[in-house]
Chains A and B, each alone.
Chain A
């Protein structure tokens, strides 16, 4: 593990895997909740956790560098179910990458339990992990100028759902009516880091 300084009052905890980043994220949230860590922002990402707004970054860096890797957090909390139609324009391309038929893409995707590894790109956009590495897909060579809101998409090891229409280079495999972001709702974001997620093919909702 590396602890890198970021400016005067932030640290970047860098680890070697997404699982370790998840474990450190859970541990740092736990420390903040119990009052032993004061940080304005705790931002997990692919291989890092950013701590911003720290009073004593040097002291914390020394402490974290000496610490053991925390245990993986338990898979707790309810599972958010996202109804999906597997009707995306890139479904055939993804099936070709995977070397399977299009309905097999839907079967594998809907049969996977995902977890929000981190958020970014837009409010409410989660980077979901859970698919085995053999299902990684590249981004599209030419990004779309407008991906419709509710598009369910793949890129690299991640699945994501576009909270609103925006440019994007991910492979679109489906669509959902779920509202990923509503600032009048509490919480505004349907998905936040750590949330467990299942995609439920439309017509099969309610089962779990």
Chain B
């Protein structure tokens, strides 16, 4: 059987196709998108012999179940979870052979939020502006997976990695985000700026691919009103009128009118992508490099 495709048996709470996104189009209002835990996506691609930019599946909390129509090599990483093939446990964060027609079940996350499923050859949906990523803000790219969705697969290319289990950082018990102040820290009272980098927040269940929302001390403005819209970056900590910070993740809007009190280092964002609701969050002041 040469039908290189993957049928979705159980889509889970939210499973999307993700690659490295479509940076470079922000001036047209196009978010960058892409896998939130990019190192995990790159690792599972390497385990199945894909290029680091191949499209993978990103699950959210509840995993997903898939039935390949051809024999494939897969790897599941990111948030740790139970993985089975036809109900038999198989290793996590390792290359696994799935026979044609077998059921690959990616279980609910034991910890963390997002698991990544790489399939050899990559998911081959039609690219939009050079990327196959689903962008939940603007609706570009394929829609989130639904039960019954059939995803085309590419032809396997490289050799899959000869490792048993690949090292992955554990999802954070406490999320520490290094943040450089500005560009609009002066829109907040000195007390608010101090509170932001000294108090503890918690990840809100309202978080999504657009932003990590946190509950905690509201940050008081030193001046009222809105900024004229200005360009925003990945990791920007925007503070809407309710005073609760939002850390911009991959599907963030390209411009915004709420002041940005600081910017989280991009190297800290993969951990943010794996911080489950309720996880304590500390923002730590860091100097721009």
Task: Name the contact of A6 in the complex, choosing from B29, B139, B236 (C-beta under 8 A).
Answer: B236
In the docked arrangement, what's the CA distance between A48 and B27, Å?
A: 12
CB distance from B39 to the nearest CB of A (A): 18
Size band of the interface chain B makes with A:
20 to 34
| Inter-chain residue pair count (beta carbon < 8 A) | 110
Which of A36-44, A100-108, A169-177, A200-208 forms part of the interface with chain B?
A36-44
Most A Cβ at <10 Å: residue of B29, B30, B128, B264: B29
Q: Are A47 and B230 in contact (CB under 8 A)?
A: yes
Q: Are A46 and B230 in contact (CB under 8 A)?
A: yes
Query: What are the residues of chain B within 8 A of A189 when measuring CB–CB?
Result: 28
Q: Are B27 and A7 in contact (CB under 8 A)?
A: no
Q: Are A119 and B29 in contact (CB under 8 A)?
A: yes
Residue A20 interfacial (CB < 8 Å): no
Of all chain B residues, the one with the shortest Cβ separation from A39 is B24
Query: What are the residues of chain A within 8 A of B29 when measuring CB–CB?
Result: 119-125
User: Taking chain B's interface residues, is the majority helix, strand, or loop, or is none over half, making it mixed?
Assistant: loop
Task: List residues of B (100-132) whose CB comes within 8 Å of A's CBs.
Answer: 128-129
Q: Which residues of A contact B (CB under 8 A)?
A: 4-8, 10, 12, 14, 40-50, 52-53, 57, 118-125, 127, 164, 183, 188-189, 192-193
Q: Which residues of B contact A (CB under 8 A)?
A: 23-30, 128-129, 138-140, 180, 182-183, 228-233, 235-236, 253-255, 260, 263-266, 288-289
Q: Which 8 A-B pairs have the closest CB atoms?
A: A50-B231, A7-B263, A46-B228, A120-B255, A43-B231, A4-B183, A119-B29, A48-B230
Some 13 contacts from A to B, beta carbons below 8 A apart, are A5-B183, A7-B288, A12-B231, A40-B23, A41-B27, A52-B233, A57-B288, A119-B254, A120-B229, A121-B255, A123-B25, A123-B30, A188-B28
